[in-house]
Amino acid sequence: MDYLTKLISIALLEDSGFGDLTSESIFTEGLKAKGIIVAKESMVIAGLDLASRVFKTIDPYAVVESCFNDGDSVSQGDIVFKVEGEIIGMLKAERVALNFIQHLSGIASLTRTFVQTLGKSSVRLTDTRKTTPGMRGIEKAAVRAGGAYNHRMSLYDGILIKDNHIAVAGGIKNAIKAVRKKASHLMKIEVETTTMAEVKEAVDAGAEVIMLDNMTTEGMKKAVNYINGRAIVEASGNITLERLKKIAATGVDIISSGAITHQARAMDLSMRISPFILPK
pLDDT, mean over the chain: 95
pLDDT of residue 151: 97
pLDDT of residue 278: 52
Portion of the chain with pLDDT greater than 90, in percent: 96
> Catalytic residue positions?
95, 130, 162, 192, 213
Mean pLDDT of 107-135: 97
Ordered by start, the domain boundaries in the chain are 3-114+265-273, 119-262
How many beta carbons lie within 10 A of that of residue 117, not counting itself? 14
Strand order in the sheet with 159-161: 124-126, 254-256, 232-236, 209-213, 189-193, 159-161
Strand order in the sheet with 32-39: 63-66, 79-86, 32-39, 269-273
| Identical fold between 3-114+265-273 and 119-262 | no
* Rounded distance between C-alpha atoms, residue 147 and residue 142, angstroms: 9
Mean pLDDT of 183-204: 96
The CATH number of domain 3-114+265-273 is 3.30.470.20: no
pLDDT of residue 29: 87
- What residues contact residue 128 under an 8 Å CB cut-off, 6+ apart? 151, 236, 256, 257, 258, 261
Q: What is the DSSP letter of 278?
A: -
- What residues contact residue 183 under an 8 Å CB cut-off, 6+ apart? 159, 189
Alpha-helical regions (H) of the chain: 3-16, 21-26, 48-58, 87-118, 136-145, 163-169, 172-182, 196-204, 217-227, 241-248, 259-262
Q: What is the DSSP letter of 139?
A: H
Mean pLDDT of 148-163: 96
Confidence of residue 274 (pLDDT cuts 50, 70, 90): confident
Answer yes or no: pTM beyond 0.85: yes
159, pLDDT greater than 80:
yes
Encode pLDDT of 24-60 as tens digits: 999 988 899 999 999 999 999 999 999 999 999 999 9
pLDDT of residue 1: 66
Mean pLDDT of 202-207: 97
The answer to whether the beta carbons of residues 105 and 142 sit under 8 Å apart is: yes
Encode pLDDT of 207-255 as tens digits: 999 999 999 999 999 999 999 999 999 999 999 999 999 999 999 999 9
Q: According to CATH, what is the number of the domain 119-262? A: 3.20.20.70
Q: How many residues does the chain have?
A: 280
pLDDT of residue 100: 98
